[in-house]
A and B are shown apart, each in its own frame.
Chain A
């Protein structure tokens, strides 16, 4: 179209003013900040929490020491060296001293050795590995069982809810450790027989009957706290409009629970699971301490502390080292869990 010269007196508007905006112009008008998702928001808050970050670093270091260092450490947890028994921290046995004099490098026993000449430092590492594994696996079990039961109870309500909550109340009232010790004593022998007689269950023997019984006990008793929390969350969530909308669209109960309700309580579930880890570690160390945990020569922090108790006055460091390791692990997980809670579930903050 040929451009017509504009008459200065004409009222006709300048057409160029009415052209659609270019992309750049549109961008400049956009005053919205990029939207931040649930995870990004939580992570941002978590990163600002210095206590949580320090404890996260501590956890990573502990995990490294427990899972990676023993693989290339010069000593292992079960090799006995009678000539190097009862060494003080950083001390060497005669044979090792001779090797050093010959110009060889011998790794010092950082925390000494036990009466069978096993390096205590590596035993503590392996012990931490066991304790942390129990903590993580048990928390995962608790998370799955607790979430499912809590969700079902909260979503369906009525009689189902009544029955489940009464069972939860009941498990709450009985002294759990008494029941755990009892269940543990009962499960141990049949599990061992199962592992010995049936080929398919041989793995029980390799993992250790003690650990398996601990897991069974956890999954039988410890889901109650988790299920209560999830139930409470779901009770309030299921009244939301989007659930009604989902139901109106014909979504099944299973779909609503898994796609809407549990997804929206994921923050609280993760936080509770994290805080469950130290308490599971506590129970495991407790059981090993009273002699119901892992079987020798495997070490657990609890059994190491219990071994150390025997030679208390002569070798106090043997008791102190595993005990402090337990406290350190529990402290780190506690603080990190608190940080997660503050970051992902500000409502729970106290």
Chain B
């Protein structure tokens, strides 16, 4: 087990290192400096600015400096938002995104699993087909399409939910829902098929023959095994929610990290782009790492490799 964790950890760190290196040099390749704007600054001002942010040094020195700073947990200063550090921006914006994203993942899991199991238990009946149609449609709606449809329906026509901001709990409904629909549909399909798989297993018949109660069979034998594929999906789900939130944040004008990321690319705010990319990548890599280990704990049959 510890060998497995170590190996996974090493791999995660290697991936992160590659992401850092790649992002840095890609950023360096972006043409047009961060200080070029409509009213071109004088050469002297440019030189001074470049010197101030260390942009006049050779690229490998810049890289070395950046990595050293990174090890100290310092992402540097934002070039465009005067006086703010990248750490500061990330630490104020990320909790907002995490809240919306986390809520939507919880909703997706809590709704998707029961629906999928119910459909599998009542295979071929009305509700199974009903949920099947629903989930097939749900999968065809990317989060931003869902968001636009929800806004038009609930904010414009019915005027039930507000379409922007995050002041009150009611503001969360639409953004969370638009992020949750796709994974909800996906999880319910995943759950249905794996539940059907499990229900056909011999040990289910054995359990029933032993006289185990219906309740115990369902929760102890069936659900526990059927939920495994859903756990594997959690890793990609987190990444999806994260990137999906870019657009959802833009649509609902939520002051989150995704919005910041897109803005920073448009502005060529190098340290902020680097910082957010590395932060998001590290977050997703960490989550995948945790999912791997949880999966291993839940299902010991997975080969140790």
Residues in A neighbouring B23, C-beta threshold 8 A:
182
Contacting pair A174 B26 (CB below 8 A): no
B33 CB to closest chain A CB, in angstroms? Answer: 12
Contacting pair B152 A319 (CB below 8 A): yes
Q: State whether the Cβ of B193 lies closer than 8 Å to any Cβ in chain A.
A: yes
Stretch at the interface among A33-41, A183-191, A240-248: A183-191
Interface centre among A183, A185, A326 (most CB of B within 10 A): A185
Stretch at the interface among B73-81, B132-140, B166-174: B132-140
Cα–Cα, bound, A271→B29 (Å): 38
Residues in A neighbouring B145, C-beta threshold 8 A:
285, 305, 323-324, 326-327
A309/B142 contact (C-beta < 8 A), A182-B265, A323-B148 known? no
Residues in B neighbouring A291, C-beta threshold 8 A:
262
Residues in B neighbouring A282, C-beta threshold 8 A:
142
Residues in A neighbouring B130, C-beta threshold 8 A:
none
Q: State whether the Cβ of B71 lies closer than 8 Å to any Cβ in chain A.
A: no
- Over the window 310-329 of chain A, the binary record of Cβ atoms lying under 8 Å from chain B Cβ atoms (1 yes, 0 no) is 00110010011001101110
Contacting pair A170 B137 (CB below 8 A): no
Q: State whether the Cβ of A199 lies closer than 8 Å to any Cβ in chain B.
A: no
Stretch at the interface among A107-115, A226-234, A330-338: A330-338
A186/B156 contact (C-beta < 8 A), A173-B15, A174-B285 known? no
For chain B, the count of residues having a C-beta within 8 Å of the partner chain is 48
Residues in A neighbouring B193, C-beta threshold 8 A:
350
Cα–Cα, bound, A327→B242 (Å): 21
Cα–Cα, bound, A43→B282 (Å): 46
- Please report whether the interface of chain A is mostly helix, strand, loop or mixed according to DSSP: helix
Contacting pair A173 B246 (CB below 8 A): no
Residues in A neighbouring B262, C-beta threshold 8 A:
181, 290-291
- Give the bracket for the number of chain A residues in contact with chain B: 35 or more
Contacting pair A286 B144 (CB below 8 A): yes
Question: 17 additional contacts, CB 8 Å, given A175-B243, A176-B243, A189-B32?
Answer: A166-B11, A169-B11, A173-B12, A177-B246, A178-B280, A179-B277, A186-B30, A286-B247, A309-B251, A312-B151, A316-B157, A319-B148, A323-B148, A327-B140, A327-B149, A334-B136, A334-B140
- On B, residues with C-beta under 8 Å from A are 11-12, 14-15, 18-19, 23, 26-27, 29-32, 136-137, 139-142, 144-145, 148-149, 151-152, 155-157, 163, 193, 239, 242-243, 246-247, 250-251, 261-262, 265, 273, 276-277, 280-281, 284-285, 288
- On A, residues with C-beta under 8 Å from B are 166, 169-170, 173-179, 181-183, 185-186, 189-190, 193, 278, 282, 285-286, 289-291, 305, 308-309, 312-313, 316, 319-320, 323-324, 326-328, 330-331, 334-335, 350
